[in-house]
Amino acid sequence: MKTIVAGTCAAALLLTSACDPNTGRPSDRVVAGALIGSTVGALGGLLVGGNDRRNALVGAGIGLLVGSAIGHYLDEQERLARQELAGTGVIVTRYEDRLQLSVPAGITFETDSDRLSPRARQVLNRIARVLNRDPRSYIDIIGHTDNVGDARYNQDLSERRALAVYNHLIRRGVNPARMAYAGAGETQPIASNATAEGRARNRRVDIYVYPAT
Protein backbone atom coordinates (compact mmCIF):
# COMPACT_ATOMS: atom_id res chain seq x y z
CA MET A 1 0.00 0.00 0.00
CA LYS A 2 1.35 3.43 -0.92
CA THR A 3 0.89 6.14 1.68
CA ILE A 4 1.82 9.71 2.45
CA VAL A 5 5.14 10.07 4.24
CA ALA A 6 3.70 12.21 6.99
CA GLY A 7 6.90 13.75 8.30
CA THR A 8 8.13 14.81 4.90
CA CYS A 9 4.81 16.32 3.94
CA ALA A 10 4.49 18.18 7.21
CA ALA A 11 7.79 19.85 6.47
CA ALA A 12 6.58 20.79 3.02
CA LEU A 13 3.35 22.48 4.08
CA LEU A 14 1.89 23.85 7.29
CA LEU A 15 -1.78 23.69 6.37
CA THR A 16 -1.90 21.22 3.52
CA SER A 17 -0.17 17.97 2.75
CA ALA A 18 0.69 16.84 -0.75
CA CYS A 19 2.98 13.95 -1.59
CA ASP A 20 3.44 11.74 -4.58
CA PRO A 21 2.81 8.22 -3.23
CA ASN A 22 5.05 6.77 -5.93
CA THR A 23 8.13 8.54 -4.56
CA GLY A 24 7.19 9.47 -0.98
CA ARG A 25 8.47 12.99 -1.60
CA PRO A 26 6.63 16.31 -1.53
CA SER A 27 5.42 17.51 -4.90
CA ASP A 28 7.77 19.99 -6.54
CA ARG A 29 4.75 22.28 -6.96
CA VAL A 30 3.65 22.24 -3.31
CA VAL A 31 5.28 25.51 -2.27
CA ALA A 32 3.92 27.40 -5.25
CA GLY A 33 0.49 25.97 -4.59
CA ALA A 34 0.61 26.96 -0.94
CA LEU A 35 1.01 30.58 -1.98
CA ILE A 36 -2.27 30.47 -3.88
CA GLY A 37 -4.25 30.41 -0.64
CA SER A 38 -7.77 29.09 -0.33
CA THR A 39 -8.95 29.53 -3.91
CA VAL A 40 -11.22 26.77 -5.10
CA GLY A 41 -9.22 23.88 -6.49
CA ALA A 42 -5.82 25.34 -5.63
CA LEU A 43 -4.59 21.88 -4.69
CA GLY A 44 -5.86 20.39 -7.92
CA GLY A 45 -2.82 19.77 -10.08
CA LEU A 46 -0.28 20.10 -7.28
CA LEU A 47 0.61 16.47 -7.63
CA VAL A 48 0.45 16.09 -11.36
CA GLY A 49 3.00 16.34 -14.13
CA GLY A 50 6.35 15.87 -12.37
CA ASN A 51 9.05 13.86 -14.08
CA ASP A 52 8.94 11.06 -11.51
CA ARG A 53 5.23 10.61 -11.97
CA ARG A 54 5.40 10.84 -15.75
CA ASN A 55 8.17 8.25 -15.81
CA ALA A 56 6.13 5.97 -13.56
CA LEU A 57 3.21 6.22 -15.96
CA VAL A 58 5.34 5.40 -18.99
CA GLY A 59 7.01 2.60 -17.04
CA ALA A 60 3.58 1.12 -16.41
CA GLY A 61 3.02 0.97 -20.18
CA ILE A 62 0.58 3.89 -20.30
CA GLY A 63 0.98 6.20 -23.28
CA LEU A 64 1.00 9.99 -23.20
CA LEU A 65 -1.34 12.34 -25.05
CA VAL A 66 -0.27 15.06 -27.49
CA GLY A 67 -1.94 17.77 -29.54
CA SER A 68 -5.63 17.52 -30.31
CA ALA A 69 -5.81 14.13 -28.59
CA ILE A 70 -5.76 15.95 -25.25
CA GLY A 71 -9.04 17.74 -25.86
CA HIS A 72 -10.65 14.64 -27.32
CA TYR A 73 -9.59 12.67 -24.25
CA LEU A 74 -11.25 15.15 -21.89
CA ASP A 75 -14.38 15.24 -24.03
CA GLU A 76 -14.72 11.47 -23.81
CA GLN A 77 -13.91 11.31 -20.10
CA GLU A 78 -16.54 13.96 -19.40
CA ARG A 79 -19.13 12.10 -21.46
CA LEU A 80 -18.41 8.82 -19.70
CA ALA A 81 -18.42 10.43 -16.25
CA ARG A 82 -21.75 12.17 -16.74
CA GLN A 83 -23.27 8.97 -18.08
CA GLU A 84 -21.86 6.65 -15.41
CA LEU A 85 -22.37 8.98 -12.44
CA ALA A 86 -25.84 10.34 -13.21
CA GLY A 87 -28.00 10.22 -10.10
CA THR A 88 -25.12 9.42 -7.72
CA GLY A 89 -24.68 12.91 -6.26
CA VAL A 90 -21.19 13.26 -7.71
CA ILE A 91 -20.67 16.70 -9.26
CA VAL A 92 -18.89 16.53 -12.62
CA THR A 93 -17.15 19.74 -13.71
CA ARG A 94 -15.16 20.19 -16.91
CA TYR A 95 -12.32 22.69 -17.02
CA GLU A 96 -10.04 23.50 -19.93
CA ASP A 97 -7.23 21.26 -18.71
CA ARG A 98 -8.94 18.79 -16.36
CA LEU A 99 -12.07 17.04 -15.22
CA GLN A 100 -13.22 17.32 -11.61
CA LEU A 101 -15.36 14.73 -9.85
CA SER A 102 -16.52 16.15 -6.53
CA VAL A 103 -17.84 13.49 -4.14
CA PRO A 104 -19.74 14.89 -1.12
CA ALA A 105 -18.67 13.37 2.20
CA GLY A 106 -22.33 12.62 2.90
CA ILE A 107 -22.08 9.98 0.19
CA THR A 108 -18.76 8.54 1.25
CA PHE A 109 -18.18 8.79 5.01
CA GLU A 110 -19.95 8.86 8.33
CA THR A 111 -19.28 11.91 10.52
CA ASP A 112 -15.73 11.96 11.87
CA SER A 113 -14.83 8.74 10.02
CA ASP A 114 -12.51 7.71 7.22
CA ARG A 115 -14.30 4.41 6.62
CA LEU A 116 -16.07 4.21 3.27
CA SER A 117 -19.79 3.53 3.43
CA PRO A 118 -21.38 0.80 1.28
CA ARG A 119 -22.89 3.53 -0.88
CA ALA A 120 -19.46 5.11 -1.27
CA ARG A 121 -18.02 1.85 -2.55
CA GLN A 122 -20.75 1.64 -5.16
CA VAL A 123 -20.12 5.21 -6.31
CA LEU A 124 -16.35 4.73 -6.38
CA ASN A 125 -16.80 1.53 -8.36
CA ARG A 126 -18.52 3.62 -11.02
CA ILE A 127 -15.76 6.20 -10.91
CA ALA A 128 -13.20 3.43 -11.33
CA ARG A 129 -15.01 2.22 -14.44
CA VAL A 130 -14.69 5.69 -15.93
CA LEU A 131 -11.01 5.97 -15.00
CA ASN A 132 -10.19 2.51 -16.31
CA ARG A 133 -11.83 3.02 -19.69
CA ASP A 134 -8.78 4.94 -20.93
CA PRO A 135 -5.84 5.10 -18.49
CA ARG A 136 -3.97 7.98 -20.12
CA SER A 137 -4.40 10.39 -17.23
CA TYR A 138 -3.03 11.49 -13.88
CA ILE A 139 -5.48 11.40 -11.00
CA ASP A 140 -5.22 13.68 -7.97
CA ILE A 141 -7.42 12.83 -4.96
CA ILE A 142 -7.89 15.71 -2.52
CA GLY A 143 -9.77 15.41 0.78
CA HIS A 144 -11.57 18.40 2.34
CA THR A 145 -13.40 19.13 5.61
CA ASP A 146 -15.48 21.95 7.09
CA ASN A 147 -14.03 24.19 9.82
CA VAL A 148 -15.70 22.53 12.80
CA GLY A 149 -13.17 21.32 15.35
CA ASP A 150 -9.40 21.49 15.49
CA ALA A 151 -7.66 22.46 12.24
CA ARG A 152 -4.89 19.90 12.69
CA TYR A 153 -7.40 17.14 13.26
CA ASN A 154 -9.34 18.20 10.19
CA GLN A 155 -6.13 18.15 8.16
CA ASP A 156 -5.42 14.59 9.28
CA LEU A 157 -9.01 13.51 8.62
CA SER A 158 -8.92 14.95 5.10
CA GLU A 159 -5.72 13.02 4.35
CA ARG A 160 -7.15 9.77 5.71
CA ARG A 161 -10.29 10.17 3.64
CA ALA A 162 -8.28 10.86 0.49
CA LEU A 163 -6.21 7.76 1.24
CA ALA A 164 -9.35 5.64 1.68
CA VAL A 165 -10.55 6.69 -1.77
CA TYR A 166 -7.10 6.10 -3.24
CA ASN A 167 -6.92 2.58 -1.82
CA HIS A 168 -10.41 1.67 -2.99
CA LEU A 169 -9.68 2.80 -6.54
CA ILE A 170 -6.55 0.64 -6.53
CA ARG A 171 -8.64 -2.33 -5.45
CA ARG A 172 -10.96 -1.61 -8.39
CA GLY A 173 -8.08 -1.80 -10.84
CA VAL A 174 -6.95 1.81 -11.20
CA ASN A 175 -3.17 1.78 -11.67
CA PRO A 176 -1.46 3.44 -8.67
CA ALA A 177 1.16 4.89 -11.04
CA ARG A 178 -1.58 7.26 -12.20
CA MET A 179 -2.65 8.47 -8.77
CA ALA A 180 -1.58 10.66 -5.89
CA TYR A 181 -3.54 11.88 -2.88
CA ALA A 182 -3.43 14.74 -0.40
CA GLY A 183 -5.47 16.49 2.28
CA ALA A 184 -6.48 20.15 2.24
CA GLY A 185 -8.20 20.08 5.63
CA GLU A 186 -10.50 23.06 6.08
CA THR A 187 -8.44 25.44 3.91
CA GLN A 188 -10.35 25.08 0.62
CA PRO A 189 -14.05 25.80 1.31
CA ILE A 190 -16.44 26.09 -1.61
CA ALA A 191 -19.29 27.44 0.54
CA SER A 192 -19.79 29.34 3.78
CA ASN A 193 -19.08 27.38 6.94
CA ALA A 194 -21.63 29.55 8.75
CA THR A 195 -24.52 27.27 7.72
CA ALA A 196 -25.09 23.53 7.97
CA GLU A 197 -25.69 23.39 4.22
CA GLY A 198 -22.42 25.16 3.50
CA ARG A 199 -20.46 22.92 5.85
CA ALA A 200 -21.95 19.85 4.17
CA ARG A 201 -20.75 21.11 0.78
CA ASN A 202 -17.26 21.69 2.12
CA ARG A 203 -16.94 18.12 3.37
CA ARG A 204 -15.96 16.35 0.17
CA VAL A 205 -13.33 14.47 -1.77
CA ASP A 206 -12.34 15.96 -5.12
CA ILE A 207 -10.93 13.69 -7.81
CA TYR A 208 -9.10 15.57 -10.57
CA VAL A 209 -8.42 13.86 -13.89
CA TYR A 210 -5.60 15.39 -15.95
CA PRO A 211 -4.66 14.15 -19.43
CA ALA A 212 -1.22 12.54 -19.29
CA THR A 213 1.18 14.67 -21.32
Give the model confidence (pLDDT) of 4-16 as tens digits: 433 334 333 333 4
Of 188, 174, 167, nearest in space to 15 by CA: 188
* pLDDT score recorded for residue 58: 82
Give domain status of residue 73, yes or no.
yes
- pLDDT tops 70 at residue 93: yes
- List of residues 6+ apart from 84 with CB closer than 8 A: 126, 127, 129, 130
**Domain presence at residue 32:** yes
At 148, phi and psi to the nearest 5?
Answer: -80, 130
Half-sphere exposure in the Cβ direction for 25 (13 Å, CA):
8
- For residue range 44-73, list pLDDT tens digits in order: 455 556 677 788 888 888 888 989 999 999
Is 90 part of any domain? yes
121 is a domain residue = yes
CATH at 68: 3.30.1330.60
d(CA 44, CA 33): 9
Domain that holds residue 190: 6-211
User: Which one is predicted more confidently, 33 or 58?
Assistant: 58
**Does a structural domain hold residue 1?**
no
User: Strand pairing of 17-20 and 179-183?
Assistant: antiparallel
From its phi and psi, is residue 97 left (phi > 0), alpha (psi between -120 and 50) or beta?
alpha
Report how many domains make up the chain. 1
Inter-residue contact 196 to 128 (CB < 8 Å): no
d(CA 100, CA 41): 9
pLDDT in tens, 155-212: 999 999 999 999 999 999 999 999 999 999 999 999 999 999 999 999 999 999 999 9
Q: Do the beta carbons of residue 132 and residue 193 sit within 8 Å?
A: no
